[in-house]
Structure 1
Amino acid sequence: MNGGDAEVRDGLRYPWAQPPASGEVLEVADGVLWLRMPLPFRLDHINLYLLRHEAGWVVVDTGMNTAQTVAVWERVFAEVFQGQPVLAVICTHFHSDHAGVAAWLTERFHCPLYMTAAEFRSLHVQVPDEAPPAWAFVDFYRKAGFSLEQAGEFHGAIQNKHFRPLNCTGFRRLREGSELKIGDRRWQVLIGSGHSPEHACLYAAEDGLLISGDQVLPRITSTVGVQATEPEADPLRDWLDSLERLRSVPDSVLVLPAHERPFFNLHQRLAQLQVHHQGHLERMLASCDEPRTALELMAVLFPRLSGRFDELMALGETLAHANYLISEGALVREEHGELRRYRRAPAQAVAPDPQRVF
């Protein structure tokens, strides 16, 4: 289960020093192929996993809705599957790089799609493409400290069709603890949240394999953000709780992530992710002796950004940390005209106020 060039970095052990070339596959376990699917932006790849099953294949995640993705799949069908069909598609979660062409694959092969219920619903909830953008969308960014013009640019940034998966008409539900028998393996479904509503990981206990999707990544951290669709959400709490639950999986598993390279030492990575977010929380709290907007706090946590899409992600993460601290009673949020500002809670405060209806 290694390529002969293992590497240890930051406490994690990588069995393969190099990933397969873009669009190519590498066998990481018997009947489990790692496909490096290209993406059209700075994070230039997603790892998909192809599981051999009887006279066909089960696909875990799909890539984005782009012509390049379809071209890679056509080559995989011919050169890797050699005419054998796709028997099922499993999507770990609804994000466009994971479910972008799920509908195309299932329609082409007349096969089922497996997802959790919350992820399937989220797949069909898109930011409306009307112009100008809806009031609630603009209000979200204006309260954070952005201008009306910048809010419009954010709206434009997410209208790219690459970020809009094709619509699927039906699915088979994945639930926590349910099992899928694929080939000779039994994969248990483990559910996490925070990065997405009901993210599915696949754990093959007897073989020591964990397909982690975006729930655990090496080297980089998954986006945990608050979006305009649910401005009062507390995804960071969901995320940290999910990381803690994953400690029930043995540290010895080979983690097969959606980005970067497969690795060992799961528990070390879980601890690193927890420390990373704790550092963000501490820096934010230290910056709030005076009231700060989300835009000002974003500059504290993410001082180097390039472009509107980076700002979208960074604002979501900033608000996730702010909402967590509010729920802990450590921050208070105040309305200042059209702006929201955050400041350290008074020392006597022990709990946040109940959620206001308006």
Structure 2
Amino acid sequence: MAELDAQGHEWRAGLRFPWVKPPANGEVREVAPGVLWLRMPLPFALDHINLYLLRHEEGWVAIDTGLNSEQTRAVWEQVFDQVCAGLPLLAVICTHFHSDHTGVLGWLAERFRCPVYMTAGEFQWLHLGAPGGSKPSWAFRDFYQKAGFSSEHAESLLPLIQAPHFRPELPSSFQRIEEGSRLAIGGRCWQVVIGSGHSPEHACLYCAEDGLLISGDQVLPRITSTVSVHVTEPQADPLRDWLDSIERLRELPDTVLVLPAHERPFFNLHQRLDQLQQHHQAHLEKLQAACDEPRSASELMSELFPRAQKGFDQLMALGETLAHANYLIAAGSLVRETEQGVYRYRCTQPGEPRLNRLLPFSADIAAC
């Protein structure tokens, strides 16, 4: 339940939102002098992404880009005409490689002949791209079949991640940013703060002087960022990276204005970090409780995400389920075994040896 305070700020679930309504798609709102919040449409249930424009000298610096689509380009043309007032983009900074953040990155960089700033890890994953070809690779089939999906079901998932809007327009070069990098933009010093788990080397931008945090997808106010295991690295432990990142973000002041990539800007960072940590802890407890007898990943997915019935929702739900399962395996709380080509997860028995990691060979071999 939301309520308004004396300043007209909305309070919801312990977070304070200075703006009750977001700008319309293609429109902007100034959230600090020279910092514009730009809402860009997305063709999904999550129907928008927040971009930010930072005024700098005789131009602008863009934070993220939107999807690779004609709609995105049309909105950018409107922004160039009505917001930028003929002044160019001087640089584009991308928080991470996901397609809604980098979709027209190459188009913007080429149009304005401006540099792209990203972390090395995100730039490399940007160029990895979705699997090609009309038929799933052996690794793709193996990943989903071991999760408990049929061969036909696995094959039906491939087109979902090959849609054109999931293929960003790539830049040919970048300038590396990393933890602690400092960027002088518009009279402000922005420090790069790295998070992981949602993506490998996600860059947030923190301005200590003005108490601003451009958080990308690393901290969102209502929804939770996806923390998933994918075909590319089936033994990854992204949830450990995510929870470690939460602890590092606690070092920032609770008073910052968080400027997220989705939903609305908000205050009370530490409260939100607590909520995110509690969300994943509840998922871990629920998953472990479901493993009192051996269960496949698809069965566990139905426990954690009962509304994810088909399509892209299943892709996301399975990835999150595996992230929690891999975390519990690394913690020694679960054991993963193979039964008729399907992985099954069960709780560790008292006195059972702890296996920290299972290597993805044709036969599982425990790390020494």
| TM-score w.r.t. length of structure 1 | 0.98
**Pairing 1:204–2:225 present:** no
**Pairing 1:266–2:285 present:** no
Q: 1:160-204: per-residue Cα shift (whole Å, max 9, x none)?
A: 010111121100001100100001100000000000000000000
**Pairing 1:93–2:96 present:** yes
- Supply the distance in 1 between the matched residues of 2:357 and 2:310 (Cα, whole angstroms): 36
- Whether contact under 8 Å (2:228, 2:321) holds in the other structure is yes
- Supply the distance in 2 between the matched residues of 1:111 and 1:98 (Cα, whole angstroms): 17
Amino acid at match of 2:114: C
- Supply the distance in 2 between the matched residues of 1:213 and 1:16 (Cα, whole angstroms): 18
Cα shift at 1:350: 6.1
Q: Secondary structure at the match of 1:65?
A: coil
Cα shift at 1:337: 1.6
- Supply the distance in 2 between the matched residues of 1:122 and 1:311 (Cα, whole angstroms): 22
Q: Structure 1 runs of 4+ off > 2 angstroms?
A: 2-5, 353-358
Cα shift at 1:133: 1.1
Q: 1:156 aligns with which of 152, 159, 170?
A: 159
Cα shift at 1:306: 4.6
**Pairing 1:105–2:105 present:** no
**Pairing 1:304–2:312 present:** no
Amino acid at match of 1:175: E
**Pairing 1:146–2:158 present:** no
- Supply the distance in 2 between the matched residues of 1:85 and 1:304 (Cα, whole angstroms): 45
Cα shift at 1:139: 0.6
Partner of 2:316: 313
Q: 1:357 to 1:165 in 2, by over 3 A?
A: closer
Partner of 2:233: 230
- Supply the distance in 1 between the matched residues of 2:357 and 2:344 (Cα, whole angstroms): 18
- Whether contact under 8 Å (1:94, 1:119) holds in the other structure is yes
The two structures, once aligned, show a CA RMSD in angstroms of 1.3
Q: 1:353 to 1:175 in 2, by over 3 A?
A: closer
Q: 1:53-101: per-residue Cα shift (whole Å, max 9, x none)?
A: 0110000000000111000000000000010000000000000000011
Q: Secondary structure at the match of 1:5?
A: coil
- Supply the distance in 1 between the matched residues of 2:100 and 2:69 (Cα, whole angstroms): 10
Q: Where does structure 2 lack aligned partners over 5 or more consecutive residues?
A: 362-368
Greater shift in the superposed pair: 327-336 or 148-157: 148-157
Q: 1:353 to 1:182 in 2, by over 3 A?
A: closer
Identity of aligned residues (%): 67
Partner of 2:351: 348
Q: 1:26 aligns with which of 16, 24, 29?
A: 29
Partner of 2:185: 182
Q: Secondary structure at the match of 1:97?
A: helix
Cα shift at 1:354: 5.1
Query: How many residues are aligned here?
Result: 357
Partner of 1:322: 325
Partner of 1:339: 342
